[in-house]
Amino acid sequence: MLLISDSNVFIDFDCCGLLTELFALPENIAVPNILFYEELEEQHSELTDLGLMLLEVSDVGVDYAQALKREFNQPSVNDLLALSLAREQDCPLVTGDGSLRVVAKREKVAMKDRMSIGKSGR
C-alpha cells in the first residue's frame, strides 16, 4: 500500500529513533518532491536512502492545493500538496496535523494517523 505523508511524521519518528523501523514496514511512503526539498532534505536527507519516495504533484493537483490554501489559513501549502497527492494517488494521507486532518476529512481523502502506520485497513 502506498501512503502519502506530510513532514511532521518523519520528524516525530526521528525524535523517537524509529525512522529505520518506519521504513521496514510493508507500506511504501511518499511525499511531494517539493515538500521534501523545502522541509526535509536539509535535516533528513537520509530519508530517500531509507526508502522515501518523492512524487511530483500534477499541475491540476497544484491548482487544487492552491485553491484549498485560499480557503484555509492553516495548513501550509506543502501540507496541502501532500493532501492533493494522496487524492491523486487514491491512497491514505498520513498526518497528525489537526488542521490538515480537518481539510482532508472535508475533502473525503482517506487518512491514517502516524500511530496507525503498519496496521491494516484504510
- Give the chain's end-to-end CA distance (angstroms, integer): 10
Return the domain boundaries, the chain.
2-116
Q: What is the pLDDT of residues 95-112, one digit of tens each?
A: 989 999 999 999 999 999
Cell matching residue 70: 485560499
Element (H, E) at 84: helix 77-89
pLDDT tier, 89 (very low <50, low <70, confident <90, very high otherwise): very high
- Spelled out in words, what is the top-level CATH class assigned to the domain 2-116? alpha beta
Q: In sequence order, what DSSP letters do the residues of 5-66 get, joined into one string?
A: E-THHHHHHHHTT-HHHHHHSSSEEEEEHHHIIIIIHHHHTTHHHHT-EEEPPPHHHHHHHH
Using a cut of 0.85, tell me whether the model's pTM lies above it. yes
